[in-house]
């Protein structure tokens, strides 16, 4: 299928790199008008900025420098989308804070605060701003005023080895997904999450240390680890009008990790 998001206005946090980049690209190529909210346009894994790729393809795209952990920035990103394009149909909460890792006794307060500020408070602030806007919009024929897709993790359901702050942030993301879904279902707000397993985005550092790759391969029944595009495909479904009568769910994209 093509044009599954034709004319929809989608705001993607952390859309400059990794999974967020794949989501922004996929949404735009399915007809969405994409607003990329990130602190930088530099692609962590290298390559041409997401906005530049989409502009070259003739897609409707806007970049807005945003710190999702700052209340004013979160509200400004939503306001800009509405000012430029008239509404906000989809929010994807993908931005994540520092992921240096650490057990409880090895994690500093600054590391904890940074991870939770972006990875959880950012989800709260962006979702609050988005829902306030979506509630003012007319519902479609299925009664939907707007959709939120949160990017969680299987490590929000089981322990994240030696990464307590990340695990707590993702557990909170899974929880707030259900809370928003229940609180706003009668008002036409759909909220779901995608929980990726081990995804190879091109990042360096801890994410690709041999011991963590070995651990992930041992936990994953599928014969390969994940790609950013796997998550983008799931996010596309949940953001589309095909996802009917589905809200408050966390969709695993983990190659069978949680089934093992």
Please give the average pLDDT of every successive group of 10 residues along the chain, which has 260 residues: 91 98 98 98 95 97 98 98 98 86 94 96 98 98 98 95 95 98 98 97 79 93 97 98 98 96
Tell me, what's the pLDDT at 1?
Answer: 57
Pick the catalytic residue from 166, 184, 215, 245: 166
Q: Where are the domains of the chain?
A: 9-253
| C-alpha span between 247 and 220 (Å, rounded) | 27
Tell me, what's the pLDDT at 90?
Answer: 99
CA pseudo-torsion sign 152, 154, 158, 161: negative
Q: Which CATH class is domain 9-253?
A: alpha beta
Instruction: Give the other-Cβ count within 10 Å of 209's Cβ.
Output: 12
Tell me, what's the pLDDT at 63?
Answer: 98
Tell me, what's the pLDDT at 111?
Answer: 94
Tell me, what's the pLDDT at 202?
Answer: 77
Q: Is 215 part of the annotated catalytic residue set? A: no
Tell me, what's the pLDDT at 59?
Answer: 97
What is the maximal distance between C-alpha atoms in the chain? Answer: 52
């Amino acid at each position: 299928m093509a044009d599954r998001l034709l004319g929809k206005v989608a705001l993607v946090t952390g859309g400059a790199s990794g999974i967020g980049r794949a989501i922004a690209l996929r949404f735009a190529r399915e007809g969405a008008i994409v607003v990329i909210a990130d602190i930088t346009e530099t692609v962590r894994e290298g390559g041409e900025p997401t906005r530049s790729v989409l502009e070259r393809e003739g897609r409707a795209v806007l970049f807005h420098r945003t710190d999702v952990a700052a209340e004013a920035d979160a509200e400004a990103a939503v306001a800009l989308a509405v000012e430029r394009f008239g509404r906000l149909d989809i929010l994807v909460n993908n931005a994540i804070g520092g992921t240096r890792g650490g057990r409880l006794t090895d994690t500093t307060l600054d590391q904890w605060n940074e991870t939770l500020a972006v990875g959880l408070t950012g989800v709260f602030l962006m979702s609050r701003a988005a829902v306030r806007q979506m509630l003012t919009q007319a519902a479609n024929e299925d009664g939907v005023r707007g959709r939120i897709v949160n990017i969680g993790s299987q490590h929000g359901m089981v322990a994240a080895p030696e990464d307590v702050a990340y695990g707590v942030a993702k557990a909170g993301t899974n929880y707030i997904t259900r809370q928003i879904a229940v609180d706003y279902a009668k008002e036409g707000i759909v909220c779901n999450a995608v929980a990726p397993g081990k995804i190879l985005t091109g990042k360096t550092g801890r994410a690709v240390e041999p011991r963590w790759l070995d651990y992930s391969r041992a936990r994953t029944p599928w014969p390969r680890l994940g790609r950013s595009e796997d998550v983008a495909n799931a996010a596309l479904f949940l953001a589309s009008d095909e996802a009917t009568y589905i809200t408050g769910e966390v969709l695993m994209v983990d190659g069978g990790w949680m089934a093992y």
